[in-house]
Amino acid sequence: MKTLPTSDMTKFEYQLNNPCKHLPGTIERKENIEKIQKNLLISYVSDSTGCGHIRNVFPMTYLNAVAGKEGKVVPFIAPFFIYQHDFLVRCRSMFFQRVMSPGQIPQIKRFKELQKKYKFKMVYDIDDFIWDGWEKGEKIPDYNMASSKIDQRTKEATIEIMNMMDTVCVSTDFLKKYLVEKGGVTSNVVVVPNAVPKYFWQGHGRRPLIKRKLEKPRVIYTGSPTHYCNARELRGDWENEWTEWVIKNVRDNKIDFCVMGGLPWFFRSIKNKILIVPWVNSFTYHLPILKFNPDFGIAPLVPNYFNYSKSDIKHIEYCAAGCVSIGTTFTNGMPSPYDDNLVKVTDNVKMTELDDIVFNKYSEPDLFNKTITEQYDMLDRNGRWLDSPKFINQFAQHF
């Protein structure tokens, strides 16, 4: 798939004039057995928040736009498990995103038995760390609200379900290695990095380059409330000097600060001086970020297995928004989602270093413009746009 339908005027006109037309399926009759074109991709979404959309809804919807009308593969996002014959006989693959309930094991076993008859492929997807181990931080951290919700039976069920799959998709190399070496997953595990929709983030093109030094930088934090805990007042991934840096510079009127997803408890003292964006749905999530027009996006982290497994989704969102992405790396040698960032700090970063990065180095036009341009180029070059041929081919090859 070297070009996308929307990048070719002839294909665009064809889609416009034939909105419902598919290439005809091939049906041959032989000894009363129908041979039907197997092009249906049935996709099950278990996570209705960001993960379910980034890993399933958005790519499946776009894949349908790219390949559905030609009949090559027709994704269908199902709200419940389907065992109906006329669906299964056309099904080439099933995609199970984060299916992990012990009560769903019998249903997955039924699909596994039906697979012998209908010859469809079973593909699983998960992009978070949820298991327990013996090493420090080898669990869902206490500050994550999921730590008290995902019980041991559920953690064991995910492994059992994954081992009934032909392929398991994950978002990072670390998560793949963990599942194979420690999780006991025997299915084929592959890495499919996250991508963001270009049509969400760049409807008006790239951000214009700045011509003068940033006098009062706009700084944004888009991490979800799973990175800290308001109920128990745990700072979580903010257990570092980032917290004091934000509070000090907001009070000193040196930065404009925006936090997505609600107000972290440790910012209550400055709540009237910052922009707080309540939780928004995945389809409109990008809009308040673009409206704020941040100069810097920050991603504080502390070392634990949950964060070693995390993807760089915040980084590519910051790159897409046209701001300098400042990621955290770990001093204990473990992998971080931000190891490849152009701008990164360690988990024990000092306030003076943060001041130097934000107020001195990267507020100057030359370095700021060079950085956001290289970030944009990285998204293009590495296929980190959902609507790029490189990502679509990487995603679709497993179906």
Q: What is the pLDDT of residues 251-282, one digit of tens each?
A: 999 999 999 999 999 999 999 999 999 999 99
Class of the CATH domain delimited by 198-381: alpha beta
pLDDT at 34 over 50: no
Sorting pLDDT into bands at 50, 70 and 90, what band is 49? confident
Q: Name the E strands within 23-87.
A: 28-30, 33-35, 40-45, 74-78
Measured CA to CA in angstroms, residue 303 lies from 128, 133, 266, 321, 351 at distances of: 15, 15, 20, 26, 19
Residue 285's closest CA among 200, 195, 193?
200
Q: What average pLDDT score do residues 178-182 get?
A: 96
Q: What is the pLDDT of residue 18?
A: 56
Q: What is the pLDDT of residue 195?
A: 96
Q: What is the pLDDT of residues 53-100, one digit of tens each?
A: 999 999 999 998 888 777 778 999 998 999 999 999 999 999 999 999
pLDDT at 383 over 60: yes
**Would you say the CATH fold of 198-381 matches that of 5-195+385-396?**
yes
Quick one: what percent of the chain has pLDDT higher than 90?
83
pLDDT at 336 over 60: yes
What 8-state DSSP symbol labels residue 79?
S
Q: What is the DSSP string of 339-352?
A: TT-SEEEETT--HH
* Tokens describing residue 23: 């290439």
Domain range list for the chain: 5-195+385-396, 198-381
**Do 60 and 75 meet the contact criterion of CB atoms below 8 Å apart?**
yes
Helices (H) and strands (E) in the chain, counts: 15, 14
pLDDT at 10 over 80: no
pTM: 0.90
Sorting pLDDT into bands at 50, 70 and 90, what band is 24? very low
Q: What average pLDDT score do residues 145-150 get?
A: 89
Q: What is the pLDDT of residue 320?
A: 98
Sorting pLDDT into bands at 50, 70 and 90, what band is 204? confident
CATH number of the structural domain 5-195+385-396 = 3.40.50
More confident residue, 66 or 225: 225
Strand partners, 78: 44
